[in-house]
Structure 1
């Protein structure tokens, strides 16, 4: 097997020794069963850790007990030299820390060789977002199209756009919603987020009206027995696929003059930013978004600060 400078296999890879792969499979099983991580997250962990193990095997390290800090630093340095983004290095470093910490805690290793491993701090970039005017235009345009076409797909698209902007849920969370997750009396959605953690997210009246219209006039035309209890379904009746949601959002954004092409996560950014601009406190926004750490939510305060500064520079006579 040939290995490039980043420790990733080139051509047809040779199988890794069981002394490396068996602990990895045990670790991934632990993450799936005990922490309830999504298949997407598990694939990311597997890809990152296989990259490391392939790098190690290519340099003659064939057992976890042989790994030391120098090996891990060499792997990380090679990736940095190859131009990997800081966020990628940070993610891969976190995956390695978790894996070796688990190996030590479960007695597979006598020490954690990653304990002193450091990775470059990622740059905190301000996420692009929609203005409040652009968000309203996006939803108004989608509603106009739905009225013109007068079909179930248009009603569905309006409802999901309204829900995305009203609640800031992730695409996977949106697609996982069931009809019973809409609590009209309390005005909330029951959402299952990362790690199968449940939270209640407030949802505004326009979104509830759009959902009820979709359920009454749109969903019955598309639903089939395989639809089950899915709130949003595709044209063939199955639970709506996240890829379809992304296409819907991109298409809707193209209708708004000057709006950045953000995708569904852009509506999540817009919801958080507009809440903070309207005076919502950071802790409440954190709970609505389902962020485990307040530090993740604080990026949106940077967005609002930047907008305030921009407005100040444009308007103040002595700015």
Structure 2
């Protein structure tokens, strides 16, 4: 059972009827469940609380006092109102409406598990489908500029060891297609630079052996020989490849900061929709492989995707680029 009293119950919006105590208890229990057992972030919880506040207001306005009295029609109507805009609220974009629908569906699933209702009224209600967002990929010249910038700072100064680490980290991310969590979690024993491979430990406990490109292997080898021993001496060291200045394992947040600094120095965007992130190098890795003729199922294995459907989004990027090249290069592309 969820722990009561961890989250404040949503309050009804506007001047409509007050939601019933039963509805308030159900939502409070669900939010407590998300806080304690699911460990959702503060921002996500805030969004869910706001979404459920509007849902309670809709139910109260319709005279509904208990979740057991809600049917699929009421839930579908609520989602439609979110998309159309109502009660002084502007229309929600598909992505925001999909999140709000997810909050409502989660509440009803929770109510079934807790025995508050007999069946899930939201089971057949489909949320709006957000438009597919293509991955952001750098072109090859941008990647080269980013990587060269990362190793050019303090190459011989007091921060030389950190510069070698930063270059090795970014070369490793692009050269292996690793997720940021896989890169910072890699152990020295996972590396075989002689063979040019690394064992990456991915999602769901799945591990995969992937090649390490020549540039990445050279950068990692230089870091291991010339920088890591000094960093390890500053702390307990440990088995992880990439260490921070205190000798401990490098965190994902620190790796993101390293990339952000290098991107800024390379003149690449660090804010907005096109901002460079750790996942940008993974996207670029996949896109460049496909551009070079790699089979999508090979790329799937390299990325550690459980389904080829996830990988196929990168083929959309490639087709889009081919279209651009065709439009500019073919003499009869334009009528």
TM-score (norm 1): 0.77
Deviation at 1:275, TM superposition (A): 0.6
Q: Does the alignment pair 1:69 with 2:78? A: no
Provide the C-alpha distance between the structure 1 equivalents of 2:110 and 2:207, rounded to a whole number of angstroms.
26
- Of 233, 246, 249, which residue of structure 1 is paired with 2:259? 249
Query: Would the aligned equivalents of 1:104 and 1:111 in 2 still touch at CA under 8 Å?
Result: yes
Residue 135 of structure 1: aligned partner: 143
Q: Which structure has the greater CA radius of gyration?
A: 2
Change in CA separation of 1:28 and 1:69 when aligned onto 2, cut-off 3 Å: farther
- Of 244, 247, 261, which residue of structure 2 is paired with 1:237? 247
CA offsets 1:54-110 (integer angstroms, 9 cap, x no match): 444555577654544355445544654345443343345446546645664786642
Q: Which runs of 5+ in 1 are unaligned?
A: 6-13, 33-38
Query: Would the aligned equivalents of 1:56 and 1:71 in 2 still touch at CA under 8 Å?
Result: no
Deviation at 1:305, TM superposition (A): 0.9
Residue 280 of structure 2: aligned partner: 266
CA offsets 1:99-136 (integer angstroms, 9 cap, x no match): 64566478664211112222222112333321112222
Q: Does the alignment pair 1:297 with 2:307? A: no
Change in CA separation of 1:245 and 1:29 when aligned onto 2, cut-off 3 Å: same
Provide the C-alpha distance between the structure 2 equivalents of 1:177 and 1:47, rounded to a whole number of angstroms.
34
Provide the C-alpha distance between the structure 2 equivalents of 1:91 and 1:227, rounded to a whole number of angstroms.
42
Higher helix share: 1
Change in CA separation of 1:134 and 1:56 when aligned onto 2, cut-off 3 Å: closer
RMSD between aligned alpha carbons? 3.6
Change in CA separation of 1:173 and 1:79 when aligned onto 2, cut-off 3 Å: farther
Deviation at 1:152, TM superposition (A): 0.8
Provide the C-alpha distance between the structure 2 equivalents of 1:22 and 1:186, rounded to a whole number of angstroms.
53
| Number of matched pairs | 303
Query: Would the aligned equivalents of 1:146 and 1:158 in 2 still touch at CA under 8 Å?
Result: no
Higher relative contact order (CA 8 A, sep 6+): 1
SS at match of 1:189: strand
Query: Would the aligned equivalents of 2:174 and 2:281 in 1 still touch at CA under 8 Å?
Result: yes
Residue 312 of structure 1: aligned partner: 326
SS at match of 2:200: strand
SS at match of 1:200: strand
Query: Would the aligned equivalents of 2:180 and 2:255 in 1 still touch at CA under 8 Å?
Result: yes
Deviation at 1:225, TM superposition (A): 4.0
Query: Would the aligned equivalents of 1:27 and 1:102 in 2 still touch at CA under 8 Å?
Result: no
Q: Does the alignment pair 1:114 with 2:122? A: yes
Residue 164 of structure 1: aligned partner: 173
Deviation at 1:140, TM superposition (A): 2.7
Provide the C-alpha distance between the structure 1 equivalents of 2:100 and 2:284, rounded to a whole number of angstroms.
28
